[in-house]
Amino acid sequence: MAEPLLRVENLVRRFGGIIATDHVSLDVAAGELHAIIGPNGAGKTTLISQLTGHLSPHSGSVLLGGRDITYLPAYRRCALGLARSFQITSLLLDFTAADNVALAAQAHAGTSFRFFANARKEKGLRDAAHAALDRVGLAHRADVVVNRLSHGERRELELAVALASKPKLLLLDEPMAGLGVTESQRMVKLLQELRKEVSIVLVEHDMPAVFALADRISVLVYGRVIASGDPAAIRQNEDVKRAYLGDQHVVTHHG
């Protein structure tokens, strides 16, 4: 089998006495959409943060395309083709949508130690920004300051920013969080398009969306992966059903 794009081996992260990530191992193949689900507090965001480099694991390793990136800082991982979106929207609120995306493009287009020329007039960056905005359907809002964008638009802008860095692997931390029904449907449609171009790790609560999109699903409970497999297998898995007892209807009914 070919080298997986992302390989996580025996990752451990503790907060005091709590083990938030408990010997997690998983592989993401190139071209795959790999979903990570789990009840609240299962350690999904902790896991993602270790993948992006915002948090260091206590042991274990993270490999991107065979290269050990376990202790690389976030900005270096980004340069290697790893992009993320945040669970709680994290954008430059006082910048326009186009500026947000153009900055992401700028990070991957030569040095930013240029002090004199007007960056907003660099055609390459602006074109890249508009292409990414167009991709997520926000082209008409390019010059609006993020403060004035709706929640749904901000979620889409998060995606555009991630796309602008031309990533190999996209880590999406609950892209549907807080979206209404129609907005969620738009987002699912968008992700269905994007997954043709880029490998995706998707952390998501929205079960219908996960089962509609994922090639493979890993289930995280108390920091541990209790099951990993294709959507059909996960749906049948007894451990998963038990873990989701309170939320069981979510798995069975909507599936």
Partner 1 sequence: MKAFTVSKAVTVLLLAGLVLLPLYSQLSGNIFILTLFTRIIILALAAASLNLIMGFGGMMSFGHAAYLGIGGYAVGMLAQEGIGSGFIQFPVALAASAIYALVIGALSLRTRGVYFIMITLAFAQMAYYVASGLARYGGDDGLTIYKRSDFSGLIDLGNRVQFYYLCLACLFGVIFLIWRIVNSRFGLVLQGLRSNEQRMQAIGFPAKRYQLVCFVISGTMCGLAGALLANNTDFISPAVMYWTRSGDLMVMVILGGMGTLFGPVMGAVVFLLLEELLSQITEYWALIMGPLLLLIVLFGRGGIMGALGRAGRG
Footprint of partner 1 on this chain (CB under 8 A)? Answer: 52, 54, 73-75, 78-79, 83-84, 86, 90-95, 99, 102-104, 106-108, 111-120, 122, 161, 164-165
Taking the complex as a whole, the smallest distance from the CB of residue 198 to partner 1 amounts, in Å, to 16
Using alpha carbons, select from 122, 125, 124, 142 the residue that is nearest to residue 133: 142
> Which is closer to partner 1, CB of 17 or CB of 113?
113
- DSSP letter, residue 44: H
- For 153, residues 6+ apart whose C-beta sits below 8 A from its C-beta are 97, 138, 141
> Which is closer to partner 1, CB of 37 or CB of 48?
48
Taking the complex as a whole, the smallest distance from the CB of residue 193 to partner 1 amounts, in Å, to 22
> Which is closer to partner 1, CB of 110 or CB of 180?
110
**Residue 67 pairs with which residues in a beta bridge?**
64
Maximum distance among all Cα pairs of the chain, rounded to whole angstroms: 62
Measure the CA–CA gap between 195 and 200, rounded to whole angstroms.
Answer: 7
Taking the complex as a whole, the smallest distance from the CB of residue 131 to partner 1 amounts, in Å, to 16
Measure the CA–CA gap between 115 and 106, rounded to whole angstroms.
Answer: 14
Taking the complex as a whole, the smallest distance from the CB of residue 162 to partner 1 amounts, in Å, to 8
Taking the complex as a whole, the smallest distance from the CB of residue 75 to partner 1 amounts, in Å, to 5
> Which is closer to partner 1, CB of 91 or CB of 251?
91
Measure the CA–CA gap between 21 and 90, rounded to whole angstroms.
Answer: 24
Cα radius of gyration (the chain): 18
> Which is closer to partner 1, CB of 86 or CB of 244?
86
